[in-house]
Amino acid sequence: MSNTGKIKSKGRFTKVPESYLSFSPISNLFYMFAVVLLSSATMLYIGGAQPASASSPTWSAPTKIIPTVGSGYLASVSCPTTTFCAAVDDSGYALTYNGSTWSTPLSVDGNNILYSVSCPTTIFCMAVDDSGNSLTYGGSIQGGPTATGITPAVGPKLGGTSVTISGSGFTGATAVDFGSKPATSFTVDSDTSITAVSPPGTGTVSVTVTTANGTSNGVNYTYTTIGYTSVSPYRICDTRASNGTSIKTNQCDTKGTTPIGTKSGIQVQVAGYNSPYLGSGETPVPAGAIAVVLNVTAIGGTSPSYLSVCPGGEASSTCLASSNLNFVAGQSITNFVTAGLNSSGDIEVYNFSGSVNVAVDVVGWYG
């Protein structure tokens, strides 16, 4: 292969005053992934594997990937796969490619000229410079982040849904974006997991993670119009002691706060709670639900009182400012209640006076 030439549509070369310094073969279907140019410090690379029936590959337009580093040229590139490349330049900088974006160049060899790099695998590369030195890559030059999934993948257009993004290379993430909008908040749980809260939006958007090494590929998240979903009624809370038959062991008879006392409350998980009262094949209210319709029952109160239901974590003084169910001493009475959910999918049930047992059944949800 000549060290000068211009790539034509059929893969032929003609001499022009421009130098192609390096190319990296991967396979006969992807045999010339990247070429580095001497004067413009740009990269040419194939956007995808060559079809078996095609007579020539398709090249993308040149893309400048190190606009300010060095004197202006990339010396060498090596691509063991279509989703990993390493390149070096004339000023001791190296960078990697993850299949969609290039990392920020990192200084790895002072001001020496790195003449060549070779990567037989995605976890090992060797480079040589103009001063007789060699250096190896074994993870210090990180490729950009990669996203592989998001759970849940749907949520209300008002936002506020907590999602988990899975993938790799998330350490040090500086941004999580839902399309053009940043996440309301996010936490890097590990290099392979991020928890984020969706902003308001519409339609299907691409969720990406950005680090110092670039921006990940996108995973789809769909905003849904708020609507009501009815379910076969099932119990999520009963503060009475379990009898193993009609009263099953559940989240409310094990909290040590039953029955509910004066101006006291009990926090009840709604979204995602796998209740023992769910029938075969039935699923709980999903994460991302913003409100729930309940059948709330007061059982055997010791004095006239009322119950108030509100999003989980709301203070008793705020929640008890209004009543959802009034009762007298010794009465068992039921009422339908529509209550908002907090970001964890919980509600709070407060009692105003005396003590009372409570049962809560789900009949539908909004989201």
Rounded average pLDDT over 105-126: 83
Give every strand in the sheet of 305-311, ordered side by side. 264-269, 346-351, 305-311, 325-327
Closest CA to 287 of 151, 149, 148, 150: 151
**Does residue 248 carry a pLDDT above 80?**
yes
Closest CA to 101 of 216, 218, 220: 216
Mean pLDDT rounded to a whole number for the chain: 80
Where are the domains positioned within the chain?
A: 4-137, 146-224, 228-366
Which has the higher per-residue pLDDT, 253 or 20?
253
Domain 228-366, what fold? Answer: Jelly Rolls (2.60.120)
**Does residue 111 carry a pLDDT above 80?**
no
Percentage of the chain modeled with pLDDT above 90: 38
**Does residue 287 carry a pLDDT above 70?**
yes
The secondary structure of 302-347 as a DSSP string is: SSSEEEEEEETT--HHHHTTS-SEEE-TT-EEEEEEEEE--TTSEE
Rounded average pLDDT over 228-255: 86
**Does residue 9 carry a pLDDT above 50?**
no
Chain-centroid distance of CA 104 in Å reads 22
Domain spanning 4-137: which CATH class is it, in words? mainly beta
With cut-offs at 50, 70 and 90, classify the pLDDT of residue 309: very high
Which residues, other chains included, contact 362 with Cβ-Cβ below 8 Å and sequence gap of 6+?
Answer: 231, 233, 234, 235, 236, 270, 285, 292, 293, 294, 295
Phi, psi of 46 (to 5 degrees): -75, 135
Which has the higher per-residue pLDDT, 261 or 93?
261
Closest CA to 156 of 231, 230, 229, 222: 222
**Does residue 360 carry a pLDDT above 90?**
yes
**Does residue 72 carry a pLDDT above 70?**
no
For 116-134, write each residue's pLDDT tens digit: 899 887 778 889 988 888 8
Q: What is the pLDDT of residue 354?
A: 96
**Does residue 49 carry a pLDDT above 50?**
no
**Does residue 69 carry a pLDDT above 60?**
no
What superfamily does domain 146-224 belong to in CATH?
Immunoglobulins (2.60.40.10)
Rounded average pLDDT over 173-180: 94
Which residues, other chains included, contact 258 with Cβ-Cβ below 8 Å and sequence gap of 6+?
Answer: 239, 240, 241, 252, 266, 357
Alpha-carbon dihedral of residues 8, 13, 18, 23, nearest 10 degrees?
90
Q: What is the pLDDT of residue 169?
A: 86
Say whether 146-224 and 4-137 share the same fold. no
Instruction: Return the SS3 of 299.
Output: strand
Tokens of 293: 């319709």
